[in-house]
Amino acid sequence: MVAGKPALIEGAAPRNVFTRRDHHGDSVLDADVVVIGSGAGGATMAAELAEAGFDVIVLEEGSYYQTRDFTADTSAMVRQLYRDGGVTMAIGNPPILYQEGRAVGGSTVINGGMSWRTPDKVLARWDHEIGLAGIARELEPYFERVERRIHVATMDREVIGNDNLLLKKGADAKGWKVIDNLRNQAHCAGSNRCAFGCPTGAKQSALVSYIPRALHYGARVYADVHVEHITRQGARATGVIGRVAGSGHRITVRAKLVVAACGAIHTPSLLVRSGFRSPSGQLGHNLSMHPNVKVVAIFDEDVTGWKGTHQAFQVREFQDQGLLFAAVNLPPSLLAMSFPHRGAALGELMAQYDRMVLAGMLCEDTATGRVRTIKGRPQAFYQLAAADAANLKRGTVLLSELLFAAGAKRIFMPFHNSAELHGPDEARALLDRDIPASGWEVVTVHMMGTARMGNDRSAAVTSAFGMVHDTERLMVADASLFPTPIGVNPMETIMALSTRAAGYVIDNASKFLS
């Protein structure tokens, strides 16, 4: 048997953080509000309500770690911080690998920290097509508040690595719009370990921002608790029942308001297995994924992309066409597994690791998928649309052109059986080539839309504030709410919506606390 050696050490938990070691039997807890999930939505909600005086309990399925627990051991971090070891998959053609954080702080612990407001064109669409009148104006102060709290800023110049500088060089050479990325960081140190838990504490994830704030104002956080279902009396949510990891002890929380903030995959499934139905028929539907692909470029010069900040720039030239480009970096092990090479060929390729630039592309999708609940567990189904596949192809060609303009000598594409490219002409020739959907290697970390908000209960699962239609005291506060994909990284939108929803709860406190 492989030794169950500890990969991470749980630090001494601060007051009001409870882990599996603190449970010695079944327990029953009371609170004003129980929040399920501690990521961008849940942590924000908990902090705002706790400061307003609500008695808040946060339940998180993952464990509680602190900055000092985040090490250079990549695979250990992935096993501990990612749901299912990072190999969760949406079924479709092609299957899409998606990643979710599973730790106190949720996916904010493992994301790249990009902090962008919902684009104006998206908010305009939500206003005109979804009926969320005035949402752009309404969200403005909440964006400002979130940005202040999580310290949204551009990078200090001295920590920008060569991979990002080459991306910018290529964009500049092409005359394409490239902007400084906004990230939730307080002087990012440039360890390039964002995706494995920031080991410097610079990334202002929920773990080091909203969660400490929630605790400071009296919230209680229970880690290692899997919520089995929301309890109810008729249409009214009354609390939750969960199980503690390891021991299986039962934990019951009785609350006056239940907030589901488990992300767009797990929130609809939790609601379904708790017996809630939406008259809209949209619960679990409308899944958007921002399909994401990566290309690897090899340069003659030293890049050493693992030294420097993550995604310092974004290429916005094609944002109106739903495409964003950025330089990312992966440790050797994760990069090696993306290549089809093996044996000596793999060794020769990986020997050039320090001359590689890994560039990623986000595609705003037009297709929607679905989350089904099968034997109590969520399963995502998503079929890449032909139009989105065409956009991915066009985007990889454009991204390759950019990298060649920056001086790349060879580029590897994100689909099976693709020959490596040696120049921009070879890249453009791909536009005439048929690439079957099954050939794409697509990943994502942006799942959205499965409990869409809107005032029309025949078309939306929740109200504009996330209150689930035709239920009482049940709220959603995560990316499930998005009526459409937003085309940029979703964290700040989630936090702003959650702050706005917290304001709604505070404004109606007497109703919720009765």
Active-site annotation, residues: 446
List CB contacts of 380: < 8 A, sequence separation 6 or more: 88, 89, 90, 91, 96, 98, 265, 287, 369, 370, 371, 447
CB of 263 to other proteins, least distance (A): 17
Q: Which of 136, 165, 241, 513 binds other proteins (CB under 8 A)?
A: 513
401 binds other proteins (CB under 8 A): no
Distance in Å, CB of 47 to other proteins, minimum: 9
Our finding on whether 1 is near other proteins (CB under 8 A) is yes
Place of tokens 């890994």: 358
- Site string (191-210) toward other proteins, x via CB under 8 A: x-x-----xxxx-x---xx-
Site size toward other proteins (CB under 8 A) is 89
Interface with other proteins (CB under 8 A), residue from 249, 254, 273, 307: 307
Query: CA–CA separation, 9 vs 64, rounded Å?
Result: 9
Nearer of residues 322 and 503 to other proteins, judged by Cβ: 503
**Alpha helices in 175-311, H assignment, sequence order:** 210-216, 263-273
Contacts of 227 (CB under 8 A, 6+ apart): 36, 59, 61, 240, 241, 242, 262, 270
Binds other proteins (CB under 8 A): choice among 28, 53, 275, 436:
53
Q: Binding of other proteins at residue 372 (CB under 8 A)?
A: no
* Residues in region 215-254 near other proteins by CB under 8 A: 216, 218, 246
Contact status: 384 vs other proteins (CB under 8 A) = no
Closer residue to other proteins (CB): 151 or 249? 151
Any idea which residue has 């079929």 for tokens?
A: 383
- 234 vs 249: CA distance, rounded Å: 26
Q: Is 63 in the site for other proteins (CB under 8 A)?
A: yes
Residue with tokens 């400061």: 51
Backbone angles phi, psi at 377, to 5 degrees: -115, 145
Q: Does 514 bind other proteins (CB under 8 A)?
A: no
Two structure tokens written together for 39? 């990521």
Kindly tell me which of 48 and 478 has the beta carbon lying closer to other proteins: 48
Query: Does the protein bind other proteins through residue 354 (CB under 8 A)?
Result: yes
Q: Which of positions 138-197 make contact with other proteins (CB under 8 A)?
A: 145, 148-149, 151, 159, 186-187, 189-191, 193
Residue type, 367: A
Shortest Å, Cβ 353 to other proteins:
5
- Note the Cα 480 to chain centre separation in Å: 11
- Nearest to other proteins of 73, 470 (CB atom): 73
For residue 318, give the 3-state DSSP assignment.
coil
- Tell me whether residue 159 or residue 283 sits nearer to other proteins (CB atom): 159
Site for other proteins in 249-278 (CB under 8 A): none
Nearer to other proteins, 87 or 235 (CB): 87
Q: Which pairs from 503-511 meet CB under 8 Å and 24+ separation?
A: 503/48, 503/142, 504/465, 504/467, 505/33, 505/49, 505/54, 505/257, 505/475, 506/48, 506/49, 506/52, 509/52, 509/54
C-alpha 99/C-alpha 85 separation (Å) is 9
Q: How far is the CB of 414 from other proteins (least distance, A)?
A: 14
Contact set for other proteins, span 2-41 (CB under 8 A): 2-13, 21, 32
- Rg (C-alpha) for the chain, rounded Å, is 22
**CA-wise closest residue to 44 among 502, 445, 479, 507:** 502
Query: Which amino acid, residue 6?
Result: P
- Region binding other proteins by CB under 8 A among candidate stretches 105-113, 247-255, 350-358, 443-451: 350-358
376 is an interface residue for other proteins by CB under 8 A: no
Secondary element (H or E) of residue 438: none
Which 82-111 positions form the footprint of other proteins (CB under 8 A)? 82, 84-88
47 φ, ψ to 5°?
Answer: -65, -45
Task: Kindly report whether the peptide bond that precedes residue 94 is cis, defined as omega within 30 degrees of 0.
Answer: yes
Could you tell me if 505 and 129 are in contact, meaning their C-beta atoms sit under 8 angstroms apart?
no
Q: How far is the CB of 511 from other proteins (least distance, A)?
A: 11
Alpha carbon 161 to its chain centroid, in Å, reads 24
Residues with Cβ < 8 Å from 273, sequence gap 6 or more?
A: 228, 229, 373, 376
Task: Indicate the residue among 94 and 424 with the shorter CB distance to other proteins.
Answer: 94
Q: Which of 16, 27, 51, 383 binds other proteins (CB under 8 A)?
A: 51
The interface mask with other proteins, positions 430-449, x = CB under 8 A, is --------x-----------
- Residue 446 corresponds to which amino acid? H
Contact between 388 and other proteins by CB under 8 A: the answer reads: no
Stretch that binds other proteins, among 160-168, 251-259, 340-348, 398-406 (CB under 8 A): 340-348
**CB of 152: closest distance to other proteins in angstroms?**
12
| Interaction of residue 72 with other proteins, rule CB under 8 A | yes
In the complex, the smallest distance separating the C-beta of residue 57 from other proteins, rounded to whole angstroms, is 13
Residue 346 binds other proteins (CB under 8 A): yes
Among 28, 277, 281, 333, binds other proteins (CB under 8 A): 333
List binders of other proteins among 487-506 (CB under 8 A). Answer: 499, 502-503, 506
